[in-house]
């Protein structure tokens, strides 16, 4: 370990993320004091098998019961396999798998036992990141914005930028890097923009047995059904002021809107729905960002990236343009957040989740003995 600028030591933290797209587990090392990013380390992706995906899909929307228990076993086994391959981690940030998310209702549910992981891995595990935020009136999501602020500082941003994560659900973080810290008023604004890859993945899996629209090839051969797109944009969620968040399956009407369309037209229309929801969300930014940095699987879809560029008034580029890894950014975020939790630093604030005050979510589980 090395001394950080503020006197705290850099910790070598290992973060893991299993997202709503249900594709697999991302894991990555970050060396940080919980404020400044010192170094990005090794990373690894472990895909879920189709059988594992089916167990997770069957558990979506469940808060407990046999389906949730089966999903927890899949998640824990995949994480033990993935995280156990890394050496030298001093702390683990474990997000778990979100099965249900109703911040203004039943709360939020991520399965996977951090204490069990701590016992197997032999290092402290930080987990259950969202519950404390929800209990204090927050949305519990998105949680990466404090990390996005550190990333903007890391690559030397001087003007406001926006991070756009296009996973199963889309979320946006507006960052003003002139502020001294993420807790400062005006430093951040964050919210879920709308559905991203999850509905399209579900459609193509059902119709064609494909996990996703690789290279946007199916959508590229289709035509957007403007009537369906206009009906989609009438959803009340888009006019709500942020902060706000979504569950994976909060827009079931999307399937109904494209049910009569060909595979190609349905894919093009769903892709346009994702881009249009981002464009709607951009109107909430305090000032226009100098550029939008896209992370998550959606940045690999050239049709979606082109739709975003056409509909937004600033450059839209993958985060690789500033030296970041868009496949690992969420896993890195939970490594960074784990250090913040371990050091008693906040992980969310009113501008990111709508929580009533600064809150440091997360439970730290130590291996026994």
Tens digit of each residue's pLDDT (9 = 90 or more) over 139-196: 999 999 999 999 999 999 999 999 999 998 999 999 999 999 999 999 999 999 999 9
Task: Using CB atoms within 10 Å of the CB of residue 85, give its burial: 0 to 12 exposed, 13 to 18 middle, 19+ buried.
Answer: exposed
Please state the rounded mean pLDDT for residues 213-238: 97
The confidence band for 3, taking pLDDT boundaries of 50, 70 and 90, is: very low
Please state the rounded mean pLDDT for residues 123-131: 97
pLDDT tens profile 89-113:
999 999 999 999 999 888 999 999 9
Please state the rounded mean pLDDT for residues 65-70: 98
The region, left, alpha or beta by phi > 0 then psi within -120 to 50, assigned to residue 185 is beta
Please state the rounded mean pLDDT for residues 316-340: 98
Can you tell me whether residue 256 is helix, strand or coil?
helix
Please state the rounded mean pLDDT for residues 209-219: 96
Name beta bridge partners: 363. Answer: 127
pTM assigned to the model: 0.95
Whether pLDDT at 71 is above 90: yes
Can you tell me whether residue 259 is helix, strand or coil?
coil
Helix (H) or strand (E) holding 364: strand 363-365
Helix (H) or strand (E) holding 327: none
What is the length of the chain?
A: 369
Instruction: Please check whether residue 271 is in contact with residue 219, taking contact to mean a CB–CB distance below 8 angstroms.
Output: yes
Instruction: Please check whether residue 140 is in contact with residue 329, taking contact to mean a CB–CB distance below 8 angstroms.
Output: no
Please state the rounded mean pLDDT for residues 220-231: 98
Q: Which superfamily does 11-137+330-347+361-365 belong to?
A: ATPase, nucleotide binding domain (3.30.420.40)
Can you tell me whether residue 10 is helix, strand or coil?
coil
The region, left, alpha or beta by phi > 0 then psi within -120 to 50, assigned to residue 195 is beta
pLDDT tens profile 230-287:
999 999 999 999 999 998 889 999 999 999 999 999 999 999 999 999 999 999 999 9
pLDDT tens profile 7-46:
578 999 999 999 888 899 999 999 999 999 999 999 999 9
The predicted pLDDT at position 249 comes to: 84
Report phi then psi at 197, rounded to 5. Answer: -80, -25
Whether pLDDT at 63 is above 60: yes
Can you tell me whether residue 153 is helix, strand or coil?
helix
Q: How far, rounded to the nearest angstrom, does the alpha carbon of residue 212 sit from its chain's CA centroid? A: 18
The architecture of the domain spanning 156-322 is 2-Layer Sandwich (3.30)
Strands 24-32 and 11-18: antiparallel
Whether pLDDT at 309 is above 80: yes
The confidence band for 48, taking pLDDT boundaries of 50, 70 and 90, is: very high
The predicted pLDDT at position 7 comes to: 54
Domain ranges of the chain: 11-137+330-347+361-365, 156-322
């Amino acid at each position: 370990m090395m001394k950080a600028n503020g006197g705290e030591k850099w910790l070598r933290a290992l973060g893991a993320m299993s997202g709503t797209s249900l594709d697999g587990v991302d894991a990555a090392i970050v060396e940080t004091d919980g404020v400044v990013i010192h170094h990005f380390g090794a990373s690894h992706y472990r895909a879920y098998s189709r059988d594992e995906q089916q167990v997770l899909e069957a558990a979506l929307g469940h808060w407990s019961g046999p389906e949730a228990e089966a999903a927890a076993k899949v998640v824990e086994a995949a994480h033990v396999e993935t995280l156990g391959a890394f050496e030298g981690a001093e702390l683990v940030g474990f997000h778990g798998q979100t099965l249900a998310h109703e911040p203004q209702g039943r709360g939020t549910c991520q399965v996977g036992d951090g204490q069990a992981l701590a016992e197997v891995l032999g290092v402290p595990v930080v987990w259950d990141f969202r519950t404390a935020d929800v209990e204090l009136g927050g949305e519990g999501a998105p949680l990466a914005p404090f990390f996005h602020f550190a990333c903007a500082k890391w690559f030397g941003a001087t003007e406001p930028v926006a991070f756009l994560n296009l996973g199963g659900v889309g979320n946006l973080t507006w960052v003003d890097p002139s502020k001294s810290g993420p807790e400062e008023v005006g430093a951040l604004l964050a919210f879920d923009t709308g559905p991203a890859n999850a509905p399209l993945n579900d459609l193509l899996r059902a119709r064609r047995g494909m996990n996703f629209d690789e290279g946007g090839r199916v959508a590229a051969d289709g035509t957007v059904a403007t009537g369906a797109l206009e009906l989609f944009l009438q959803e009340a969620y888009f006019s709500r002021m942020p902060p706000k968040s979504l569950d994976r399956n909060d827009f079931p009407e999307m399937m109904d809107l494209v049910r009569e369309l060909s595979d190609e037209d349905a894919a093009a229309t769903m892709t346009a729905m994702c881009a249009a929801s981002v464009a709607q969300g951009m109107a909430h930014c305090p000032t226009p960002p100098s550029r939008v940095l896209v992370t998550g699987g959606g940045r690999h879809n050239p049709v979606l990236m082109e739709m975003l560029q056409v509909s937004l008034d600033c450059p839209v580029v993958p985060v690789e343009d500033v030296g970041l890894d868009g496949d690992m950014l969420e896993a890195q975020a939970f490594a960074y957040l784990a250090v913040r939790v371990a050091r008693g630093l906040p992980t969310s604030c009113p501008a990111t989740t709508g929580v009533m005050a600064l809150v440091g979510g997360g439970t730290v589980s130590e291996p026994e003995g």
